[in-house]
A = this chain, B = another copy of it.
Amino acid sequence: MVLVNGVFTDSVKANDRGLMYGDGVFRTLRIEHGAPRHWDRHYRKLNRDCAALGIACPPAALLANELNLAAEESPDCVAKIVVTRGPGERGYFPEPAVDPTRIILTSPIPDHVKHGEIRAHLCKLRLSRQPALAGIKHLNRIENILARMEWRDPGIAEGILLDAEGSVIEGTMSSLFLYREGVLVAPDLSLCGVDGVQRERVLEYACEKNIPVEIKPFGIDFLEQADEVFLVNSVIGLWQVVSLENSSWQKGAFCEALRSRLQ
């Protein structure tokens, strides 16, 4: 099911700047029993990401209404919300008077959400560092695609991405954390990576439970010394990484407790 600017249709104007330049942002979330999960958080993030690109974010009520239309059709699904800068003439300079395009696409909940522990691939592609785009879930995703094309083994659920200098950043479609000696460690995302809603929830959980948190750059050696390594996003919830190239980890209690909380 696809809804474009509130209308059930599967097509978008060919000159949309989302298509011409990847000029837009997106969110992926679960709809459960007809209700979008964590909509407030997702909208706040959408709004922040739009602002970072100078796109006028559509009002929350308008998007919520369209999400509800989608939820009536598909009460349990994955919903993707795309906001682009809208159609435009040729050229990078955006005409300010154009309305952003709103696209909502639903798809079935994938089987892989049932995974608890997963094997991961260490991607050869390195993320570039771009502080002007770091944290934003924008539509420029060729790096993620090239990284995802590195493996075809269905036994590998996700790929771990480092940046150009070797800092561990994230999964191709998920946020990464590690837990070590009682401390939760998250990668610094000031130079690249996506700062997502589930990452925010994990950091809040640690805060509530008085678990010390460190947000800092670290390399693969540090990751290998972790007690638990895990990935989160709004579709999968939490996957514990139990195998990555030559490293392996036991199923862990921190991940188990956190998974129940996120669900």
Contacts and interface: CB of A to CB of B under 8 A. Distances in A.
Interface in A3-59: 4, 9-23, 26, 28, 53-54
A90 B103 contact: no
A13 B22 CA distance: 15
Size class of the contact patch on chain A = 35 or more
Given A125-B132, A128-B130, A145 B14 contact: no
Contact of A15 (B2, B15, B23, B148): B2
Nearest to A151: B93
A84 B139 CA distance: 14
A22 B105 contact: no
Contacts of A164: 129-130
A133 interface: yes
A172 interface: yes
Contact of A103 (B14, B126, B142): B14
B22 A149 contact: no
Contact of A128 (B2, B16, B128): B128
Interface in A90-113: 90-94, 103, 105, 107, 110
Interface of A: 2, 4, 9-23, 26, 28, 53-54, 78, 80, 82, 84, 89-94, 103, 105, 107, 110, 125-126, 128-130, 132-133, 138-149, 164, 172-173
16 contacts: A9-B14, A10-B13, A11-B12, A12-B19, A14-B103, A14-B105, A19-B82, A22-B140, A23-B141, A23-B145, A90-B107, A91-B148, A91-B173, A92-B172, A130-B143, A133-B142
